[in-house]
């Protein structure tokens, strides 16, 4: 349930309470990497149904000339979410999550727009260790992810930041080596995120005004509490095609960075997870990523 009140400055503020009863579905390797739960029985316990109760407070200030394709103005949003036993959450599911977004649009000429965006977020929760029963479990949907068509476009969706790799048991050789192509990447998310974007939106010399160009640079980092931010910058170019639903967007982001290193897991006959490599990095097959979507990136 929620209630919204608009201030005198036309800023809607929403207070919400959400209560859910369900289970967490995630790659078993994520449970092993973050909660030290590598046995099948332990993972099954983490996947048991739990109560999640949160109180959220959000505010949004929208001052743009066009919601679908703004060329002037700004959009500011802020949100805080708290999960606690006092609200009804399970004892091991307590955290505080805060995130803020800011976008600005400046018309340089009648047909050229400079757009900028900044996103900053953090999740605060004691580190979990399933083997000792300590800490709290932050559901994967409450963690942060980065990479994709709306933030760091040189990466595929959720490809930026901490990852683990999973190799099918039948692909692992007797000496624990494996074909690199069999290592499937799995994003585990992070508790800290910063993403910044700068984009120049230009008119097209052909099919104008139905088509426009864009040149952009995206910068971002995703990491966990106590870890180190590894900043990545990916430039790119794009096309925008006007439609009733908003701009149809085709972007190409360039990326010369290696994928993140991570632990490699495989499954034993008993269904438990076993580490077969640490610090593994899967090589990129190309230096660019293409995204197709509807609507501006921000």
Structure tokens at 201: 């939106």
Using a pLDDT cut of 70, give the percent of the chain over it: 89
Q: What confidence score (pLDDT) does residue 253 get?
A: 98
Average pLDDT, rounded, for the chain: 88
Residue 249, helix vs strand vs coil: strand
Structure tokens at 96: 């505080």
Give per-residue burial for 191-206: e unless 16+ CB within 10 Å, then b: bbbbbbbebebeeeee
Alpha-carbon span 262 to 281, nearest angstrom:
7
Sort 279 into a burial class: Cβ within 10 Å, 0-12 / 13-18 / 19+: exposed
- What spatial distance separates the first Cα and last Cα of the chain, rounded to whole Å? 28
pTM summary value = 0.84
Q: What confidence score (pLDDT) does residue 127 get?
A: 64
pLDDT digits (tens, 9 = 90+) for 131-159: 545 456 788 888 999 999 999 999 999 99
Residue 30: pLDDT band (50, 70, 90) is low
Give per-residue burial for 240-260: e unless 16+ CB within 10 Å, then b: beeeeebbebbbebebeeebb
Q: What confidence score (pLDDT) does residue 268 get?
A: 77
Sequence length of the chain is 298
More confident residue, 74 or 206: 74
Alpha-carbon span 265 to 247, nearest angstrom:
41
Number of domains comprising the chain: 1
Given a cut of 60, whether residue 222 has pLDDT beyond it is yes
Q: What's the Cα-to-Cα distance from 244 to each of 121, 132, 196, rounded to whole Å?
A: 32, 55, 28
Sign, Cα dihedral of 136, 141, 144, 146: positive
Sort 65 into a burial class: Cβ within 10 Å, 0-12 / 13-18 / 19+: exposed
CATH for 67: 2.40.160.50
Report, as an integer, the average pLDDT of 21-39: 66
Report, as an integer, the average pLDDT of 38-57: 76
Where is 35: in which H helix or E strand?
helix 28-35
pLDDT digits (tens, 9 = 90+) for 168-189: 888 889 888 999 888 888 888 8
Structure tokens at 172: 């692992």
pLDDT digits (tens, 9 = 90+) for 94-136: 899 999 999 999 999 999 999 999 999 999 987 655 454 545 6
Given a cut of 90, whether residue 29 has pLDDT beyond it is no
Q: What confidence score (pLDDT) does residue 221 get?
A: 98
| Long-range Cβ pairs for the range 202-205 (8 Å, 24+) | 202/111, 202/112, 203/111, 203/112, 204/239
Structure tokens at 280: 């593994």
Given a cut of 70, whether residue 37 has pLDDT beyond it is no
Q: What confidence score (pLDDT) does residue 155 get?
A: 96
Residue 177's domain spans which residues? Answer: 2-294
Sign, Cα dihedral of 127, 132, 134, 138: positive
Among the listed ranges 19-28, 138-147, 199-208, 250-259, which one has the minimum average pLDDT value?
A: 19-28
């Amino acid at each position: 349930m929620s209630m919204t009140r608009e201030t005198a400055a036309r800023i809607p503020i929403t207070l919400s309470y959400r209560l859910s009863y369900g289970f967490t579905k995630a790659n078993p390797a994520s449970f092993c990497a973050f909660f030290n739960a590598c046995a099948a029985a332990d993972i099954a316990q983490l996947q048991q149904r739990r109560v999640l109760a949160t109180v959220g407070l959000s505010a949004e200030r929208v001052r743009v000339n066009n919601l679908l394709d703004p060329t002037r103005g700004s959009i500011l949003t802020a949100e805080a979410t708290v999960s606690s036993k006092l609200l009804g959450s399970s004892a091991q599911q307590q955290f505080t999550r805060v995130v803020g977004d800011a976008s600005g649009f400046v018309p340089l000429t009648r047909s050229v727009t400079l757009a900028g965006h900044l996103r900053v977020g953090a999740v605060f929760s004691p580190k979990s260790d399933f083997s000792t029963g300590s800490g709290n479990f932050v559901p994967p949907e409450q963690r942060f992810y980065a990479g994709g068509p709306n933030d760091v476009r040189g990466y595929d969706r959720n490809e930026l930041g901490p990852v683990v790799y999973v190799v099918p048991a039948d692909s692992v050789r007797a000496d624990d080596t494996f074909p690199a192509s069999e290592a499937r990447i799995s994003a585990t998310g992070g508790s800290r995120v910063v993403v910044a974007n700068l984009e120049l939106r230009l008119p097209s010399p052909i099919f104008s005004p139905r088509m426009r160009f864009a040149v952009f640079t995206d910068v971002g980092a995703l990491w966990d509490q106590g870890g180190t931010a590894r900043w990545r910058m990916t430039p790119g170019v794009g096309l925008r095609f006007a439609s009733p639903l908003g701009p149809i967007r085709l972007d190409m982001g360039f990326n010369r960075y290696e994928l993140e290193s991570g632990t490699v897991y495989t499954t034993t006959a008993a269904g438990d997870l076993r580490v077969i490599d640490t610090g593994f990095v899967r090589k990129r097959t190309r230096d660019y990523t293409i995204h197709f979507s509807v609507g501006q990136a921000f």
